[in-house]
Amino acid sequence: MTVTKQRFLDVQQAAERLNKTERFVRRLIEERRIAYFKFGRAVRIGEDDLEQFIAAGRVEPVGRGLRRVV
C-alpha cells in the first residue's frame, strides 16, 4: 500500500480503537512492538499497522476434541 494514501491515527485515536490507555499505546511504541511514523515530534500509527498489530495477537480456538493437557 502506498504510504500517502494511508490514514494515520494519533496516540489517542489508536488507544480508543484498542480500548486501552494512551500510556499503553506509548509503551507499544517505545518497545517498538507496533510500527509507527514520526512527523517532526508528532507520532502517528497507520491504520493498516494497527490492524496488523491486532491480527498478530489473535489466538485461534482449539476444537473440543483437541483439549490440551498441561
Q: What is the mean pLDDT of each run of 10 residues along the chain (70 residues)?
A: 77 98 98 97 97 94 71
At 36 the three-state DSSP class reads coil
Q: What does the alpha-carbon distance between residue 1 and residue 5 come to, in Å, rounded to a whole number?
A: 8
In a domain, 26, yes or no: yes
What range defines the domain where residue 51 resides? 3-61
In a domain, 25, yes or no: yes
Q: What is the pLDDT of residue 47?
A: 97
Q: What does the alpha-carbon distance between residue 34 and residue 12 come to, in Å, rounded to a whole number?
A: 15
In a domain, 68, yes or no: no
Tell me the pTM. Answer: 0.77
CB-CB contact of 47 with 8 (8 Å): yes
Q: What does the alpha-carbon distance between residue 31 and residue 61 come to, in Å, rounded to a whole number?
A: 28
β-strand partners of 42: 39
In a domain, 21, yes or no: yes
In a domain, 47, yes or no: yes
When divided into structural domains, the chain yields a total of 1
Residue count of the chain: 70
